[in-house]
Amino acid sequence: MRDSSIGYKPTFDQYVRYIATRFGVMAFAILPLLMLTAARMNVLVWLTHWTHDSWYIFHRWIGRLAWVCAIAHAVLYSTYHLMLNQYWVKFAKLYWNCGILAISLFTLLTVVSVKFFRRLSYEVFLYGHILGSIVFILALFYHSMWERANEWLYLTLTCWGIDRLFRLYMTSGAFYPCTGRVLHFGTMMRIDVLVPANVSVRPGQFAHLRFPQLRYLENHPSTTTLSDVEWTPLISDCGDSEKLHSKRTQALTFLIRPFDGMTRRLSDHLISSASAINTLDRPTSIKVYFEGPYGNEHDLRPYDSLLFLAGGVGITFTLPYLLKLSGAYATGKSTFKRIHFVWVTRALHEIESIVSFLDRIDENLREHVDIFYTGRITSIGILLDSALTPSHRHWVEQVKVGRPEISDLLSLAMRDHDDDDNDATDGHDNDDENQERDEDLGSKPSSVAFLGEIFFPLFPLFVRRTP
């Protein structure tokens, strides 16, 4: 800004304008990264092995950083034009008004991204976010008069376009929905979807499901998938399944608990369909768009001892790992010294939704599987008096009443390996369980390193003990 050869010295207002311009360019430059961290085709997920949820947190804070830069840009430019007595004249300019529109939308998008507003109405937040972002980008083009710092806007649109193409590629039946069925278990819904056989699903992965019969554009992230190819036929008992379930397709299972929004509408749809046939015992056919799978599988090989803790639908995360380990356990190729699987449920009928998968567990490994029931004790007797399959009855009879002592489970998992290099525990905890776990581990003299990942209602926890 200063050229000593001609003795030029900028004035204060020119400094203000220069800094304001820098803040504006910085806000523009952050936008591609903001779009990338919100995309499902986020290369940073594969580079870092962090989850999409982790990068969504970065997305929110990167957005706040860009908003701070934009606010600084607006305040300083307003100050600059006030110093020149040009402030009110600028309102006759299109680029100025588009800048006001852009900063207003950016402020609104930043405010409603707070957890309180997201939980208040996630659907309003989502659709408002999409529509607001479109108008925001368009306003920025007019604000920059289609020629200044536009390379950052084009890069942002490029990231968005690549993500859309990638999602189209990841969608099985991109133009025609997949065939699926839904069975309602009261507090849980089981969704079986026929997808192409070349879709490879590993433990720890998730997918997005979209039901055009409910809302065409809205999708729901399912915590995990269980593959029919490895474990059990799921749609073989549906009417025309022989035509549907061929060598070119495989069935994947999703367990979803209805809360609100799309899951509640799906539950209401099933109940209304069941009322027409006077039963909830029969599956309801439904068309599904399957997008995925996303996410990474955790490498459990460095660990000697595994403790799986799951609560409710959290079993959809831990069970695929156990089923994969069961194959190695049956052939004697397992390298783990101890495997303990614990599931806590408040509804006994949820066992029926996964009994076909529980039956796939190796006989020798079943003795390490514990199911805890925290509901009414009388429900067990009522369920046993009803007509159950032998397999279902076996698992109900194994149920233990009450909550497990998390501290005892962790102590037991570590007790036999005090001299080993590694122990691991994997599971789903609620807040009370987290406190018990922390108190127990805090009393251990050895150091503990946590590898934590949070995805929706799941909290898988890996613990590695070092000498």
Rounded Cα distance between 56 and 52, Å, is 6
In sequence order, what are the beta bridge partners of 180? 193, 286
Alpha-carbon distances, residue 335 vs 100, 124, 306, 339, 460 (angstroms): 62, 49, 11, 10, 21
Counting DSSP H helices and E strands in the chain, the numbers are: 16, 15
Most confident of 45-54, 128-137, 236-245: 128-137
Percentage of the chain modeled with pLDDT above 90: 21
Count CB atoms within 10 A of the CB of residue 339. Answer: 20
Same domain as 197, residue 149: no
Phi/psi for 311 (5° steps) reads -125, 125
Tokens 């069935």 belong to residue: 251
pLDDT score for 238: 40
* For residue 456, pLDDT beyond 50: no
Q: Helix or strand or coil: residue 87?
A: coil
Last-in-domain residue among 294, 314, 329: 294
Percentage of the chain modeled with pLDDT above 70: 75
294 neighbors 51 (Cβ within 8 angstroms): no
The number of distinct structural domains making up the chain is 3
Beta-sheet pairing, 305-311 with 426-427 = parallel
Q: Is residue 167 part of a domain?
A: yes
Mean pLDDT score, 194-217: 80
Last-in-domain residue among 294, 327, 348: 294
Mean pLDDT score, 388-408: 78
Q: Which has the minimum average pLDDT: 166-180, 247-261, 276-290, 294-308? A: 276-290
pLDDT in tens, 359-374: 888 888 888 888 888 8
Mean pLDDT score, 435-441: 48
Q: Is residue 183 part of a domain?
A: yes
Give the sign of the dihedral formed by CA 225, CA 230, CA 232, CA 236.
positive
Q: Would you state the structure tokens that stand for residue 193, as one six-digit string?
A: 């979807």
Q: Is residue 1 part of a domain?
A: no
The strand ranges marked E within 173-297 are 178-184, 189-196, 206-210, 219-222, 226-227, 249-256, 284-294
Helix (H) or strand (E) holding 228: none
Last-in-domain residue among 261, 294, 327: 294
* For residue 442, pLDDT beyond 50: no
Helix (H) or strand (E) holding 81: helix 52-83
Alpha-carbon distances, residue 348 vs 78, 105, 223, 339, 343 (angstroms): 64, 48, 21, 24, 12
Give me the domain span that covers residue 159: 12-171
Rounded Cα distance between 345 and 375, Å, is 8
Same domain as 106, residue 255: no
Rounded Cα distance between 447 and 462, Å, is 14
Most confident of 199-208, 323-332, 379-388, 417-426: 199-208
Rounded Cα distance between 253 and 320, Å, is 11
Same domain as 138, residue 27: yes
pLDDT-derived band at 71, boundaries 50, 70, 90: very high
pLDDT score for 73: 96
> What residues contact 88, with CB distance under 8 A and at least 6 apart?
none
Alpha-carbon distances, residue 392 vs 186, 256, 340, 357, 363 (angstroms): 17, 20, 21, 11, 15
Q: Is residue 3 part of a domain?
A: no
Same domain as 421, residue 395: yes
pLDDT in tens, 75-104: 999 999 999 898 899 999 999 999 999 999
12, exposed or middle or buried, with CB in 10 Å at 0-12, 13-18, 19+? exposed
Q: CA 95 from chain center: how many Å?
A: 39
pLDDT in tens, 98-124: 999 999 999 999 999 888 888 887 778
Report the Cα–Cα distance between both ends of the chain, in Å, rounded.
Answer: 59
Same domain as 452, residue 338: yes
Which residue has better confidence, 414 or 467?
Answer: 414
Mean pLDDT score, 424-452: 45
Give the sign of the dihedral formed by CA 17, CA 19, CA 24, CA 28.
positive
Tokens 């019969």 belong to residue: 213
